[in-house]
Structure 1
């Protein structure tokens, strides 16, 4: 399982996070499809942790992802709920885009769809208070 992701030279890399002593930024340690081992410095502001969960399309959910809940139930108060995945107070949560409400990631994971992330798709956050 790839526990973290981060951007390196504009491309996403997935693997294990390795911290360094001093003021050096962490890097991601990973293997490519041919089994070759690599280590990449990452842009620290793009670091995301895997939640260990997948959305309705089988996409792994990371912190920093923008997700939408689609229950398909008419009148369900959380149908269409959209938010950003975060790790707060020892739990993965979805903070609503209007920051008025939130929910635990585990409560709705079977009905979530990853729309994008806050790094590549900032337009999904436009108009948010």
Structure 2
């Protein structure tokens, strides 16, 4: 959303002084960090689907409500179908996405570490 007003800036100096430029950069950095954390904790597919939907849906709503964007007359149903399909796809991908294999490797490695630090007594072998 910050990129739309920045497109109207006509000089490089004004762009560098515009607070929305720094908001856009900070938003991008924080978004990438959060995406990286989401990918570490769960499915990459679900994380990217949620990221795409979180970027597209609120921007469309803000554009319609506050920035004067319009849906072509008679095509409102298409916008609603697109929103519902996006929502259903994100929920479906989040629900049914398979976790990455590195989670299994990490669990096995953790069990090995516990065994090495707490060996089984000789009487129990």
- Which category describes the TM-score, using the shorter chain as reference length? under 0.3
TM, length-normalised to structure 1: 0.20
TM, length-normalised to structure 2: 0.21
- Quick check: which has more Rg, 1 or 2? 2
Q: Which has the higher strand share?
A: 1
